[in-house]
Structure 1
Amino acid sequence: MTLLPDPWWPTALLALVLLADAAMSIRPPRFIRDCLDGVNLPRDWWWILVVIKTLGAVGLIAGVWMPGVAFAANVGVVAYFCCAAVAHLRARNTGQAFWINCLGMLALSIAVLALSFTL
């Protein structure tokens, strides 16, 4: 296993997707509001998702040059989306947002981890 992502571009792509997700979460569109309400996350806590996603993206970007940082950030992103999946399941909120957004991001995060750090 390497401590720098190889190839680097999947890590950069995941960072870009996370930054876009964080930007959308600042003023969430309806589908994000419905998702967060569906898992009963209090609105007072929504801001923390912007911070978590932004920090994940920053870690992924910094890790392209700093050994181990992208790997740790990628594992953190996988853990975040695993927790999101559990929240959806516990709230019995398994509609389109769960299957496409939550599990889609989890699959992308796992794929990037596998492609960039284990091959």
Structure 2
Amino acid sequence: MFIAFAVVGILLALALTASAFADITRAEQVVASLSKLGVPDSWFLPLGLVKIAGALGLVIGLWVPFLGVAAAIGVVLYFIGALITHLRVKDYAVAPVVGLMLTGVAALVLRLASA
């Protein structure tokens, strides 16, 4: 199970890092999407930093199991919040959010199973 967690955790960390980079650099597509959701511009950096923290936690969680569990829980909660934000404004283009949330759930289950 550890190898499965390592693969899922690292892939999720890479996806989170790419998403955080887009948030922090205010990529045009991200700005349009978050603006449509009513997210203030001042939240772009903090949202990106939270994703970086999740990515680091998943990677460090390879060696520190409780940190991997905590990071996976944080990622799942982050994307539950993102899903709620999308649904609140009746934006049903939620496939990426759901995909990342479910990948976080997989990482959590695998980390717990391998600890």
Q: Work out whether the TM-score is over 0.5.
A: yes
Q: How far, CA to CA, are the matches of 1:30 and 1:94 in structure 2?
A: 20
Instruction: Tell me if structure 2 keeps the 8 A contact 1:6–1:117.
Output: no
Q: How far, CA to CA, are the matches of 1:102 and 1:38 in structure 2?
A: 15
Aligned residues: CA RMSD:
1.7
Q: Match for 1:104 among 89, 99, 105? A: 99
Where do residues 1-119 of structure 1 align in structure 2 (5 Å cutoff)?
Answer: 6-7=2-3, 8-95=6-93, 98-99=94-95, 101-118=96-113
- Structure 1: state its 5+ residue gaps: none
Aligned with 1:65: secondary structure? coil
Q: How far, CA to CA, are the matches of 1:67 and 1:116 in structure 2?
A: 7
Higher percent of residues as helix: 2
Identity %: 31
Number of aligned pairs? 112
Kindly indicate whether structure 1 or structure 2 has the higher relative contact order, using CA contacts under 8 Å at least 6 residues apart: 1
User: Structure 1: which 4+ aligned runs deviate by more than 6 Å?
Assistant: none
Aligned with 2:16: secondary structure? helix
What's the offset of the Cα at 1:115?
Answer: 3.2
Aligned with 1:118: secondary structure? helix
Per the normalisation by structure 2, the TM-score is 0.86
Q: How far, CA to CA, are the matches of 1:117 and 1:67 in structure 2?
A: 8
- Structure 2: state its 5+ residue gaps: none
| Residues 33-89 of structure 1, C-alpha deviations (whole Å, 9 max, x = no match) | 222112100111111111100111111111111131001100100000000000111
